[in-house]
Amino acid sequence: KKFQHPSVKSLHRGQFIWNLANVPLLDQYIYALGQNKYRTVVEQVIEQFKGKVIPKLSSFRDCINHGDINDRNILVDSSSASLENPQYRVSGILDFSDMSYGYYVFEVAIAIMYMMIESPDPLSVGGHVLAGFESVLPLTAEERGALFLLVSGRFAQSLVIAAHTALLYPENKEYLTITAKTGWKHLMTMFEVGQEAVEKAWFETAQAYTHHAPA
């Protein structure tokens, strides 16, 4: 059943810069990157996003997005007494300030992006996140086909907005550019490796889970 609430319309935040549908709005902030190879890749992300993702939004399944599922906003409980082999389960989520109307696939893409930053194997971690999400809600072919650009789009949002905000508030630059420390490297690598190869790694990793699932 769809989420219902008398105030749900307030989450239709049309120009909200952090809504993943609004990657094209980055055009107005891209100046903050200067002129370099990073800007060139972000321009590619924005143009491909406009051409390949925006026209498909109507085919994605809609929902209310938390919009910021990252390691700083996830609470876990230990579900194992073993110190040698600790096991954890998600027990809660913090920070609902970025909630907005969006699509299920946005939540997967945002989680993949943040897990790439934290993972020692960033290019394959997306497959593990995807497997977990699809154990509850399998994506459609259209949603899967948009994942590469959605993850790239979230990297672009984080990096461009951080650069813009750091110009406005230089005293907060260190905090504002936490994601940028490794984010640029991951975004550049994704485009160097290419969509086809990255998707192959994600989808094969996710597929492996279906072969090991208990009967």
Kindly list the catalytic residues.
Answer: 68
Q: Between the CA of residue 29 and those of 34, 76, 94, what are the distances in Å?
A: 10, 35, 28
* Phi, psi of 86, deg, nearest 5: -65, 140
Closest CA to 25 of 41, 60, 49: 49
Tokens of 209: 């889970």
Residue recorded with tokens 């891209």 = 30
Q: Hey, is 7 helix, strand or coil?
A: coil
Contact call for residues 151 and 183 (beta carbons, < 8 A): no
DSSP notation for 70-93: -GGGEEEEE----SSS--EEEEEE
Tokens of 29: 């902030």
Distance, in Å, from the CA atom of 189 to the CA atom of 200, rounded to the nearest integer, reads 15
Residue recorded with tokens 């790239």 = 152
Alpha-carbon dihedral 64, 124, 138, 112, rounded to 10 degrees: 0
